[in-house]
Amino acid sequence: MALDERKKCILKAVVDDYIATAEPVGSKALVSRYHFKVSPATIRNEMAELEELGYLEQPHTSAGRVPSDKGYRAYVDTLLPVEDITREDAERISRYLSDSLDELTSLIRRASSVLSEQTGYTSVALSPQLHRSQLQQIKMLMIEPGRALVVVVLSAGVVKDRLVRIPDLLDAQQLMQVASAIESGLAGMKLDDITLVTVAAAARQTPVPDSLLNQVLYEAYVSIKQADNLEVYMDGTHNLLSFPEFSDVNKAREHLMTLTSSGMIAGYMNEMKDQEDQGASAGESTDLSEPEPPGAASRPAYTVRIGQEILLDGLQDCSFVTTTYKMGDYVAGRIGVIGPKRMTYGKVISHISFIKQTLNEQIRSLAAGRDRTEDHEDEA
Residues that bind DNA (CB under 7 A): 24-29, 37-42, 44-45, 47-48, 51, 58, 60-65
Stretch that binds a second copy, among 25-33, 66-74, 159-167, 329-337 (CB under 8 A): 159-167
Residue 165 is a binding residue for a second copy (CB under 8 A): yes
Instruction: Confirm or reject binding of residue 373 to a second copy (CB under 8 A).
Output: yes
- Residue ranges of E strands in the chain: 56-57, 66-67, 122-126, 135-144, 147-154, 159-165, 232-235, 303-306, 318-327, 330-340
Whose Cβ is closer to DNA: residue 43's or residue 170's?
A: 43
Backbone angles phi, psi at 144, to 5 degrees: -170, 170
Number of residues that bind a second copy (CB under 8 A): 36
Binders in 217-276 for a second copy, by CB under 8 A: 238, 241-242, 246-249, 252-253, 256-257, 260
CA distance 82 to 86: 13
Residues 288 and 353: their CA atoms lie apart, in Å, by 24
Binder of residue 161, out of DNA, a second copy, none (CB less than 5 to 8 A by kind): a second copy
Choose among a second copy, DNA, none what residue 137 binds, the Cβ cut-off being 5 to 8 Å by kind. Answer: a second copy
Q: What angle do CA 123, 22, 64 make, to 5 degrees?
A: 145
> Can you name the residues that pair with 318 across neighbouring β-strands?
340
Q: Which CB, 73 or 255, lies closer to a second copy? A: 255
Q: Is 151 in the site for a second copy (CB under 8 A)?
A: yes
- Of the candidate residues 137, 198, 262, 357, the single one contacting a second copy (CB under 8 A): 137
Residue type, 37: K
To DNA, the closest distance from the beta carbon of 35 in angstroms equals: 13
Q: Tell how many helices (H) and how many strands (E) occur in the chain.
A: 12, 10
Angle at CA of residue 380, ends 159 and 232, nearest 5°: 40
Stretch that binds a second copy, among 37-45, 88-96, 147-155, 290-298 (CB under 8 A): 147-155
| Helix-helix angle 5-21:27-34, to 10 degrees | 100
DSSP 8-class letter at 247: -
Name the residues that contact a second copy, by CB under 8 A. Answer: 101-103, 137, 139, 141, 143-147, 149, 151, 153, 157, 159, 161, 163-165, 168, 238, 241-242, 246-249, 252-253, 256-257, 260, 369-370, 373
